Chain A
Amino acid sequence: MAISSQARLPSEFSLSGQTAIVASSGGDESPFLAAALAEAGASVFAVARHAAAADAITAAVTAVSGRDTGRHVGRWDTPDGASSAVHAFSALHPRVDILVNDTRSFFAKPAAEIDLAEWDELHARNVRATFMLSQVVGQRMLEQQYGRIVNVISNLAERAVINCSAYSATQAAVLSLTRSLAVEWGRSEIRVNAVGSGWSTAEDIPLETQREELLVRYTPMRRKGHPRDLAAMLVYLCSPHCDYPSGQPVYIDGGLNAHP
């Protein structure tokens, strides 16, 4: 693990020469995650439902790499939508090494009051979109016998919170997909893992201000997570050196999962 050409980055964390698709539901963590991949040397192509979300990712990537490496705006929770996204990607890039699914639209409502349209829309965005893009990109990865897929999830995949039944079900579903695709595609040098966050913010809020919130004082590390807390682990899970790990979540949540 020599120090690579990127300043002071251990070479096992280098994504030099790799090409990544980052699919984002528009959450404010996605631009940081995309920028981390770019910092490690990857070319990053953004997929988002709205232009504003794609703009934020492209701006973050360009700030790091000095290059605009493309984007696609549109839903991708259908076979046609996912194919359009990958078609747009292929016009700019010859192969896809990495897929990051950061498809976490948050939703909270008493279970007794959730209507069918809300349930279905949330599952379409968070679960079906993750599956559709993984399926289309996975077909290419199977052909090239190589790929790294990382699903960004919440620790609500493991634990329950009042009013979060629908959202938690989507996160558990994505965790289950992580295991299943890792097992089904493992012989084709495709690794599928998840990185999980807890209570987080993309803003830099002073600790004293954060700790006025009960949720922050309850968290063992006594601060909210920031997307940069996920950066190095995400990069490793996307790298060619991440060969033996597959089918598992890694939670970076300030200790909440160990909380009794």
Chain B
Amino acid sequence: MLENLYLDGKVVVITGGGTGLGLEMVRALTRSGANLAIAGRRPGPIEAARDEVIAAGQDAIAVPTDVSKSSDADALIAATMSHFGRVDVLINNAAMVADNVLKPIWEITDDDWDSAMSVNLSGAFYCARAAAKPMADAGKGKIINVASGFGLRGGRDIYMYCTSKGGVIQLTRVLSFSLARYGITANSIVPGFIPTIDPGAEINRTLPQSGDFLPTGKLGKPEDLGPIAVFLASDASDYMTGEMFILDGAGLAAGITPTGHAPVAALEP
């Protein structure tokens, strides 16, 4: 029953694949037998990731891509089709944390809003649109969107990230319902706090430094995404679509009190 977890040369396109969570997913997918088209804005990290995949014995290409430009998204899928002849899986992972300098709403510019929405939400749409046709022609495909716990709850002054990630979860549902008839599934991975960004980044002043506030007591690690990326890319997930896989130290299951709040009350007679 478990043999279909192995990826056997499936072609996976992943955006934001040169760093952070994306790079750890690339590594897990490679170990499970995938071939990869690795996209990212900067050539350096994605070329290094490509070389790592090839050194591990799988095939890979690096495609410099700004997902906020639909022509780049189209070119990414075209480059993948040209090199591999197919696209089995798309992982929309690219995102910008544009709210990295937290500002009151009246100081957020049109450009602040537009640039974050265009990468995090429009970028996922552009890539899904470009990949969906070759997947439909093949009668099978998988779209995996990396959202965030902030797509389900509010964060103080985190307007663009929360809104765009909530949009990604909804995009996933619409893709799943619309594309099921073509054999294409769509699911979201919803990570909680997983420190990956530059430790010197300003947003780190506002994000938790430890997992003390989480029910499980610890933050996530980028490699926590590996097994779920492999599962969702594999035939083992064929009947799962339109869903979220949440990994967040039970943060979303709790959250209505400060961590550790533990009332005791006897049953009234």
**When each residue 1-28 of chain B gets 1 if its CB lies under 8 Å from chain A and 0 otherwise, what string results?**
1111110000000000000000000001
Cβ of B32 under 8 Å from chain A:
yes
**When each residue 238-267 of chain B gets 1 if its CB lies under 8 Å from chain A and 0 otherwise, what string results?**
111111011111101110000000000000
Cβ of B216 under 8 Å from chain A:
yes
Cβ of B31 under 8 Å from chain A:
yes
Cβ of B134 under 8 Å from chain A:
no
Q: Which residue of A lies closest to B29 (CB)?
A: A1
The answer to whether A222 and B181 touch across the interface, beta carbons within 8 angstroms, is yes
Given contacts A9-B5, A13-B2, A228-B1, contact A236 B227 (CB under 8 A): yes
**When each residue 236-258 of chain A gets 1 if its CB lies under 8 Å from chain B and 0 otherwise, what string results?**
10010111111110111111011
The answer to whether A10 and B215 touch across the interface, beta carbons within 8 angstroms, is no
User: Chain A residues with Cβ under 8 A from B243's Cβ?
Assistant: 250-253, 257-258
* Interface-centre pick from B2, B28, B172, B245 (highest chain A CB count, 10 A): B2
Given contacts A1-B226, A187-B217, A255-B177, contact A36 B246 (CB under 8 A): no
With contacts defined as CB atoms under 8 Å apart, how many contacts are there between chain A and chain B in the complex? 170
Given contacts A10-B6, A39-B2, A248-B246, contact A259 B32 (CB under 8 A): no
- Which single member of A8, A179, A221 contacts B253 (CB below 8 Å)? A179
Instruction: Give chain A's interface residues, CB within 8 Å of chain B.
Output: 1-3, 6-10, 12-13, 32, 35-36, 39-40, 178-180, 182-184, 186-187, 191, 220-223, 225-226, 228-229, 231-233, 235-236, 239, 241-248, 250-255, 257-260
Number of B interface residues, CB 8 Å?
Answer: 49
The answer to whether A258 and B5 touch across the interface, beta carbons within 8 angstroms, is no
Sample (8) of A-B pairs whose CB atoms are under 8 Å apart? A8-B5, A39-B2, A179-B253, A186-B217, A233-B231, A242-B227, A245-B245, A250-B240
Q: How far is the CA of A248 from the CA of B246 in the complex (A)?
A: 7
The answer to whether B215 and A247 touch across the interface, beta carbons within 8 angstroms, is yes
The answer to whether A233 and B240 touch across the interface, beta carbons within 8 angstroms, is yes
The answer to whether A40 and B2 touch across the interface, beta carbons within 8 angstroms, is yes
User: Chain B residues with Cβ under 8 A from A244's Cβ?
Assistant: 192, 194, 216, 218, 220-221, 224, 247-249
Q: How far is the CB of A175 from chain B (nearest CB, A)?
A: 10
Q: How far is the CA of A187 from the CA of B214 in the complex (A)?
A: 9
Q: How far is the CA of A254 from the CA of B217 in the complex (A)?
A: 34
User: Chain B residues with Cβ under 8 A from A232's Cβ?
Assistant: 1-2, 4-5, 231, 234, 236-237
Q: How far is the CB of B35 from chain A (nearest CB, A)?
A: 16
The answer to whether A32 and B217 touch across the interface, beta carbons within 8 angstroms, is no
